[in-house]
Amino acid sequence: MLDGAVVAVVIPAWNEARLIEKTLDSVPTFVDHVVVVDDASQDLTGAKVRDAADPRVQLVTHPKNRGVGAAIATGYGHAFAAGADIVAVMAADAQMDPTDLELLLQPISAGEADYVKGDRLSHPDAMFRMPLGRWIGNHALSQLTRIATGLDVGDSQCGYTAIGRRAWEVLARERLWPTYGYPNDLLSRAAVARLRVRDVTVTPIYGSEVSGIRPRHLFTSFPYVLARGLLRRVRHGA
């Protein structure tokens, strides 16, 4: 627990057998539940999660690949059903610094925010730690997301996030975008619902992991999600 709140971590995973064990080992001890959602992996991801000695770990499996957004939404549902008050998302490829997790959770546990976004771009070493293409691309998508949502988010694409129970009860009524573009869609809906969104600076970590985002996503999913978000904002006067 953290400040009296039951904490869960959701880990969406698709073909992450190489790094999933390292990720599970990194989850801090104050976390009460760990929900791994295997999004129909074709490798040994599920088997390695089942073999984990950590009693906090629960494996949920999608029979068909549904996308990272759908995996996160499934994980949220299971985590809150297990009694969590706050749920964080950590990637399965060990790309998130576990020492940042407490800072990410604190605005929610203190009652100051409903949804917290990690912000790698505000880290003083971001330009040196992040591949140049990703640094530029994330700045561009974050600017477009600020325009579409009206929210002052620093790093819209960072997957290191935390959400409180009340916020999820609001957002769970929505049909959230299931694949890449999920963070932007969720931010749009959070803006319309007037949820309190807060940024927390986190450490950029890049190693041998491979991003699943392809150039086609930059010309299909992201423009569609952002345009839809802008229209939603205008329609609701958010």
| Rounded distance between C-alpha atoms, residue 132 and residue 140, angstroms | 12
For the question of whether the overall pTM of this predicted structure is more than 0.75, the answer is: yes
Q: What is the mean pLDDT of residues 197-215?
A: 79
pLDDT of amino acid 238:
72
Q: Give me the half-sphere count of Cα atoms (radius 13 Å) on the Cβ side of residue 133.
A: 5
Residues 6+ apart with CB under 8 A from 110: 3
Strands laid side by side in the 57-61 sheet: 57-61, 33-38, 7-13, 86-89, 161-164, 115-119, 197-201
Q: pLDDT (tens digit, 9 = 90+) per residue, 122-165?
A: 999 999 999 999 999 999 999 999 999 999 999 999 999 999 99
- Specify whether domain 7-236 bears CATH 3.40.50.720: no
**DSSP E strands: which ranges in 81-127?**
86-89, 115-119
Which amino acid is residue 168, in one-letter code? W
Query: Per-residue pLDDT for 215 more than 80?
Result: no
For strand 115-119 and strand 161-164, is the pairing parallel, antiparallel, or unpaired?
antiparallel
Closest CA to 228 of 115, 149, 171: 149
Helix (H, G, I), strand (E, B) or coil at 207: coil
**DSSP E strands: which ranges in 17-95?**
33-38, 57-61, 86-89
| Rounded distance between C-alpha atoms, residue 13 and residue 94, angstroms | 11
Q: What is the mean pLDDT of residues 213-229?
A: 76
| Rounded distance between C-alpha atoms, residue 122 and residue 67, angstroms | 28
Q: pLDDT (tens digit, 9 = 90+) per residue, 172-204?
A: 988 899 998 999 999 999 999 999 999 999 999
pLDDT of amino acid 168:
96
Is residue 89 within 8 A of residue 122, CB to CB? The reply is no
Domain ranges of the chain: 7-236
Mean pLDDT score of the chain: 93
